[in-house]
Amino acid sequence: MRVIGLSLRMIADAPMKSLGTLIGVTVSVFLMLQQASLLLGILARVSAFADQTDPDLWVASAGTESTDATGTLPASRVGAAAGTPGVAWAAPVVQGVGWVTRPDGVRELVKVTGVEAPRYAGLPRTLAAGTTPMSLRGSGRILMNAGDRDTFGGARVGDRIEIDGRAVFVAGFFRDMDPHSPYYYLYANLDDARALTRILEDRVTFVAVGLAPGAHPAVVKARLAARIPHATIFTRRELRDAEIRYFLVRSPVGVVFGMGTLIAALIGAAIVAVTLYSTVVDRTRDYGMLKAIGARRRDLIALLLAQAWSFALAGIALGGAAFFLVRHAFPELPMRITPAMLAGVALATLVSCTAASLLAIRRVLSLDPAMVFRS
């Protein structure tokens, strides 16, 4: 406790320098949280199709890298999958892109996903109030992401929109599948989706598969692979990972946000290093006096670490508070927070501040106690 008290007094003795250090660490923490949360938020959107739908397994064409890089399968594969031991049900899903003309004349790219009654496998599990899977019953009906309503002129149930010149009507809304690419998600019944995406009746984009109770995904996947040649089979987790991997490989997003997080940590460490080292230089005689009166090496190390950790803890608290205020003020930004991410940023801050104190520690340990007796 004496070490902590002394370290706080030394910080308070140089208020402007300490304030500058605290601001630097706070900005560093804020930037790390911002960069990491934006990356996690974007990746959550990338993997939303796998995460927010119920099928346990997905059968796709050979060589499929993601839902954005796939072909089609013969529709007969649905029956083959349904007859595989361990499969409770199998259903066709079709997917393709088209253009919607907004009320203001602007054209928007949409990804249309077709699902089949009565199971509607592949439909987002979170539907808006008043919307059910049965909302798709009937020709020419689509479900739209509730978050995209403003993009399409404040769309409401019953509104008419055109997809590549074909008229459809908004039948309801779903949630938690926000767009990450140049397109928006729309859902339609299977026949309408075929017409909108020009996928032939004897072809499907995916076969969605549900497991029988007690069936193991890996075992059923192996059976499907043996039964359906020339196909790629994903578990839900594998499809999620494939989506993220494809996105990161095809875009510089991961590198950009990863570098931003690293640079933010280095900025905080550099500021703490400069401050602690300059403080030691300014108070060389004080540290020499401590050594002269019997302060041990571990006491001096503890003193400097206590100062570094004080800056780190205060910066974590202030930077975290600033981040959550910004996140609350701008809910439209895809910032996703997890306990692991918060712990990782806090640990990175403590590690960087600890590493930054090494220069100051070396300087203090090399001091000659006799210097305090020299004029």
CB 275 within 8 A of CB 36: no
- In this predicted structure, the answer to whether residue 8 has a pLDDT above a threshold of 80 is no
User: Percentage helix, strand, coil, to 5, in the chain?
Assistant: 55, 20, 25
Q: Choose among 165, 167, 124, 169: nearest CA to 147.
A: 124
Same domain for 161 and 261, yes or no, is no
* Helix (H), strand (E) at residue 261: helix 253-282
CB 36 within 8 A of CB 257: yes
Is residue 213 one of the residues assigned to a domain? yes
Q: 30-43: per-residue pLDDT in tens? A: 888 988 888 888 88
What is the C-alpha radius of gyration for the chain, rounded to an integer number of angstroms?
Answer: 29
DSSP state of 201: T
Is residue 113 one of the residues assigned to a domain? yes
Same domain for 71 and 16, yes or no, is no
- Number of separate domains in the chain: 2
pLDDT of residue 55: 95
* Cβ-Cβ contacts under 8 Å for 325 (sequence gap 6 or more): none
Q: 308-367: per-residue pLDDT in tens? A: 888 889 989 999 999 999 999 988 788 888 999 899 889 988 888 888 777 777 776 666
Same domain for 182 and 288, yes or no, is no
How many CB atoms neighbour CB 270 within 10 A?
14
Cα 273–30–258 angle (5° rounding)? 85
Q: For the chain, how long is the longest CA-to-CA vector?
A: 96
pTM for the model = 0.80
Provide the sign of the torsion angle of the four alpha carbons 336, 123, 101, 69, taken in this order: positive
Q: 177-223: per-residue pLDDT in tens? A: 887 777 889 999 999 999 998 899 999 999 999 999 999 999 999 99
- In this predicted structure, the answer to whether residue 95 has a pLDDT above a threshold of 70 is yes
Same domain for 324 and 217, yes or no, is no
pLDDT of residue 359: 73
| Most confident segment among 4-18, 137-151, 270-284, 302-316 | 137-151
Domain span including residue 81: 63-229
Task: Please state, for a pLDDT cut of 90, what percent of the chain lies above it.
Answer: 41
Same domain for 138 and 217, yes or no, is yes
Same domain for 71 and 37, yes or no, is no
Same domain for 25 and 111, yes or no, is no
Same domain for 26 and 151, yes or no, is no
Q: Outline where DSSP puts E strands in 175-308.
A: 183-189, 203-204, 206-211, 231-235
Same domain for 115 and 216, yes or no, is yes
Q: 350-375: per-residue pLDDT in tens? A: 888 888 777 777 776 666 565 555 55
pLDDT of residue 147: 87
pLDDT, averaged across the chain: 85
Same domain for 217 and 291, yes or no, is no
Cα 77–83–87 angle (5° rounding)? 100
Single-letter amino acid, residue 156: R
Asked if the bond preceding 118 is cis, omega within 30° of 0, the reply is yes
Site of tokens 């690293």: 262
Residue with the bigger pLDDT between 231 and 305: it is: 231
- In this predicted structure, the answer to whether residue 74 has a pLDDT above a threshold of 90 is yes
Is residue 50 one of the residues assigned to a domain? no
pLDDT of residue 2: 67
Taking the C-alpha atoms of residue 80 and residue 159, their distance in angstroms, rounded to an integer, is 39
Taking the C-alpha atoms of residue 25 and residue 19, their distance in angstroms, rounded to an integer, is 10
Same domain for 105 and 208, yes or no, is yes
Is residue 335 one of the residues assigned to a domain? yes
Is residue 237 one of the residues assigned to a domain? no
| Most confident segment among 147-156, 179-188, 236-245, 267-276 | 236-245
196: which 2 tokens? 């909108």
